[in-house]
Amino acid sequence: MSKFAVSFEDKVFKNLDGDLDWSIEGYKERGGYDRLAEVLAKDPKEIINSLKPCGMRGRGGAGFPTAIKWSFMPDPTDEKPNYLVCNADEGEPGTCKDRDILRNDPHTLVEGLIIGCHCLQAKTAYVYIRGEYHIESVRMQEAIDQAYEAGYLKEGICDIYIHMGAGAYICGEETALLESLEGKRGQPRLKPPFPANFGLYGCPTTVNNVETIAQMGVIAKKGLDWWTQFGSENNHGTKVFSVSGAINSPKNIEVALGVPLKELIEDFCGGVKGGWDNLQAVIPGGSSTKLLTPEEAETAIMDFDSLKQFNSSLGTAGVVVISKDENLLDIMLRISRFYKHETCGQCTPCREGIPWVYRDLEKLINGKGSIEDIDKLVKLTHKIEGKTICAFADGAVWPVQGLIAKFKPLLEEKLK
């Protein structure tokens, strides 16, 4: 067995594939809610301090140390209570891990929210679920109802509410999510102030991803030694990877962080369709991360730091395998069109620039223009990158930058 494989007992999400009973009875049979009372009896700040050395980094894409983020929260007051918000607005193309957690193992999130609320001294948590996840939202609500019935959730002490989004990708950005939750148009806020000081309804708020909250709850129960046996320094723990595309066995799979990309594809997911030699490219962390070439995929390590050497990132760990049987340029144009459609329009460089990038890329792929126009497109992306309120524009131009940096001959061939 691979050293990156995780045993059933060590998995955080024991029912990720949906083969077992998702209900509270099945969850308790798998050890769910064990030692919860023991954790809730501890001082919140002591728990947060004890979690800092665990190296747990946010699983939503940014990879910021979660316990440090939690430590930014002040003590609540009568005028300004603390809130915990779960970001289940999973909109990154190539990523579907949170969907299976909500659908097949919702009580891992419920228990994580209970522990998270205790640590943050919050009496209320909101789960913001993307509008298309109707089945998942129904399942999550059933799990919440079961937790109230069993006494794990108590009105006025720890309440969990579900809020459905309306399908906007931008609401995955934490401050746009808070705006939407307040009933406003989902557009990012200027920072500072940060949500820990001025979040939901102007109160201290922490926003975390589904996987992050669920895992933090389990770490609080099982301890650092258990968690740090997986991964490496600064990249500890297990991680759910969404592996799709030209792969023989597409799936969501929980393995140790730091798994080699080739091993993830070949050993855990059945290999590339047509064999490894048929590999053309890999998107390593969702559509906003830069492409990897087959040569890079040979040695790439899947953690937050190692992928930087290839000028890419782990992102949401949505791995999309692209074989030589697919038209890579068409795939990248489709991704660019997606971001053109999803810009919220608040910042001029993004509102005007992202459609411009799409139009120029489309022109090049259709064989119109010159070789010099490829370099002009790169310059255009750099004029957009880093010039906006949030990181949406950066994520929209990175795929194009990666395409040109590593697969420029494909575009040049179109212009001959």
Q: For residue 289, what is the domain's CATH number?
A: 3.10.20.600
What total number of domains does the chain contain? 3
Quote the tokens at residue 214: 């669920």
pLDDT in tens, 235-290: 999 999 999 999 999 999 999 999 999 999 999 999 999 999 999 999 999 999 99
Residue 233 has pLDDT above 90, yes or no: no
User: CA 337, 378, 385: angle at the middle one, nearest 5?
Assistant: 75
The answer to whether position 3 is within a domain reads no
pLDDT in tens, 283-313: 999 999 999 999 999 999 999 999 999 999 9
Q: Do 288 and 348 fall within a single domain?
A: no
Q: Do 84 and 103 fall within a single domain?
A: yes
Do 97 and 12 contact (CB within 8 A), yes or no?
no
Q: Do 371 and 287 fall within a single domain?
A: no
The answer to whether position 11 is within a domain reads no
Helix (H, G, I), strand (E, B) or coil at 65: strand
DSSP 190: P
pLDDT in tens, 117-167: 999 999 999 999 999 999 999 999 999 999 999 999 999 999 999 999 998
The answer to whether position 2 is within a domain reads no
The answer to whether position 15 is within a domain reads no
Report phi then psi at 269, rounded to 5: -125, 20
Q: Which pLDDT band, with edges at 50, 70 and 90, does 23 fall under?
A: very high
pLDDT in tens, 69-89: 999 999 999 999 999 999 999
Please state, in angstroms and rounded to a whole number, the distance separating the CA atoms of residues 53 and 65: 10
Q: Tell whether omega for the bond before 193 is within 30 degrees of 0, i.e. cis.
A: yes
Q: What pLDDT sits at residue 107?
A: 98
What domain range includes position 273? 237-323
Centroid of chain to Cα 233: 21
Q: Tell whether omega for the bond before 284 is within 30 degrees of 0, i.e. cis.
A: no
Give 141's contacts (C-beta < 8 A, 6+ positions apart).
162
Residue 260, amino acid: P
Q: Do 80 and 212 fall within a single domain?
A: yes
Q: What pLDDT sits at residue 2?
A: 85
Last residue of a domain, one of 165, 195, 228: 228
Last residue of a domain, one of 289, 323, 357: 323
Q: Do 55 and 140 fall within a single domain?
A: yes
Average pLDDT across the chain, whole number: 95
Q: How far is CA 371 from CA 116, 223, 374, in A?
A: 53, 56, 6
Q: What pLDDT sits at residue 112?
A: 97
Q: Do 345 and 315 fall within a single domain?
A: no
The answer to whether position 12 is within a domain reads no
The answer to whether position 83 is within a domain reads yes
Centroid of chain to Cα 53: 22
> What integer is the mean pLDDT of 209-237?
92
Q: Is the dihedral of CA 402, 404, 409, 415 positive or negative?
A: positive
Q: Which of 115, 139, 338 is nearest to 215 (CA)?
A: 115
Q: What pLDDT sits at residue 21?
A: 97
The answer to whether position 14 is within a domain reads no
> What integer is the mean pLDDT of 213-226?
94
Last residue of a domain, one of 210, 228, 246: 228
Do 19 and 257 contact (CB within 8 A), yes or no?
no
How many Cβ atoms from other residues are within 10 Å of residue 183's Cβ? 7
Residue 416 has pLDDT above 90, yes or no: no
DSSP 169: G
Q: What pLDDT sits at residue 304?
A: 93
Report phi then psi at 196, rounded to 5: -65, -20
Q: Do 261 and 393 fall within a single domain?
A: no
Q: Do 339 and 410 fall within a single domain?
A: yes
Long-range pairs for 359-365: beta carbons < 8 A, 24 or more residues apart: 361/332, 361/333, 361/336, 361/400, 362/333, 362/336, 364/411, 364/414, 364/415, 365/329, 365/330, 365/333, 365/411, 365/414
Q: Do 171 and 265 fall within a single domain?
A: no
Percent of residues, the chain, with pLDDT higher than 90: 94
Q: Do 81 and 168 fall within a single domain?
A: yes
Q: Specify the CATH number for the domain of residue 168.
A: 3.40.50.11540
Q: Which of 317, 325, 252, 258 is nearest to 283 (CA)?
A: 317
- Helices of type H across 72-190: 97-104, 106-120, 134-150, 174-181
Q: Specify the CATH number for the domain of residue 380.
A: 1.20.1440.230
Q: Which pLDDT band, with edges at 50, 70 and 90, does 1 fall under?
A: low
Q: Which pLDDT band, with edges at 50, 70 and 90, does 329 fall under?
A: very high
Q: Do 209 and 135 fall within a single domain?
A: yes
Please state, in angstroms and rounded to a whole number, the distance separating the CA atoms of residues 89 and 94: 14
Q: Do 301 and 406 fall within a single domain?
A: no
The answer to whether position 17 is within a domain reads no
